[in-house]
Amino acid sequence: MESIAFSLSSPQNFFVALVITFLSFFLALLAVRSLPSKPKSGGSATDLSTSNKNEKLRACCACNCNDVVSGSDLEPLRTPHLNGGTGPDVTEKTATAITERQTGASMMEQLVPEITTHALSYLDYPSLCRLSMTNSLMRKAANDDNAWKALYHKDFTLEQDAITPVNGWKAYYAATRAIVNVNTEFFNFIRERSLAEMSRLWLNADYVKCVHASGELFSGYNAVIQGWRLAFDWEQGANFQIRDVRARVLTDMAWVTMKTYFEIDIKPFIVTNVFEFHNGRWYLVHHHSSDMNGEVEQPIVQGQ
């Protein structure tokens, strides 16, 4: 007991105990301050959420994010170059993409109608049809009446510039192309000497007429087909070229004029074909072929 009392009463041991007590208190204070504070009731949870959003926004801006926040007053971001300086504004780079995303239109679709029509005038018939199938905006541009009028003048003739087609220039172009294709088939049947196809091309009516290059005139369906049978049996096959094709199309009637050049002749023949529209297709009702200088009158051959 005397040794224990002596150790506690020693000034040196008392000082050591005081230091240990002070350190213990200091460590306890640090531990209490390091604990997370609990959110207060009321609007403290909202403040914490707003703080988290602000931190995310600052992090987004710090990493040079290219997204544009609508309604924000932030200064345009500039991307730094490796060799110093800054590049163009990020908003300038994304302006076109933002505009296309908002309007759903490409740069070509945003052109004024006059420029669009001029650009479409360089397309051919298949390309213009394909363009109209891309989307609704380009379909509207490809269906522009002025574009089809320009295409008609380029592919066919300028003679009909003053007319106003009832159903528009697109429908008139399609009708003209259809009649030109039928007219081309007519000459293909002559090259192939196909009487069966020629018989199907002509309308079976008593008022149809055919004037061959020889000057013979055949009237009525049976007489016309008989005339082609004689022509295919007698005439030798010859190559010929068709030039200066001009077509005029009405509601149910059309005529085509052209020049035919044969190898054996220098002067061309003037050819006129007249068609009528029946039951959804075009039929030939009149054919006339003659020399440009021929003036000899030929007798009329009547059919039964």
Structural class in CATH, domain 182-291: alpha beta
Least confident of 30-44, 72-86, 153-167: 72-86
**Chain segment 169-184, per-residue pLDDT in tens:** 989 999 999 999 999 9
Q: Given this model, what pLDDT does residue 196 score?
A: 95
Q: Give 68 or 291, the one with higher predicted confidence.
A: 291
> Taking 80 as the threshold, does the pLDDT of residue 277 lie above it?
yes
**Secondary structure of residue 273 in the 3-state scheme:** strand
Residues 6 or more apart whose Cβ sits within 8 Å of residue 4:
none
What pLDDT score does 70 carry? 44
Domain boundaries, the chain: 108-155, 182-291
Q: What is the pLDDT of residues 136-172, one digit of tens each?
A: 877 887 888 888 888 888 888 777 777 888 889 989 9
- Please give the Cα distance from 142 to 120 (Å, whole number): 7
In the prediction, which pLDDT does 1 show?
A: 43
SS3 89: strand
Helix axes 168-192, 145-155, angle to 10 degrees: 30
CA atoms within 13 A of residue 115's CA, in its CB half-sphere: 6
Count the Cβ atoms, other than its own, within 10 Å of residue 179. 21
Lowest-pLDDT range, 55-69, 198-212, 277-291?
55-69
Question: Tell me, what's the pLDDT at 187?
Answer: 92
The average pLDDT across 92-104 equals 53
Residue 223 CB neighbours (<10 A): 19
Band the pLDDT of 10: cuts 50, 70, 90: low
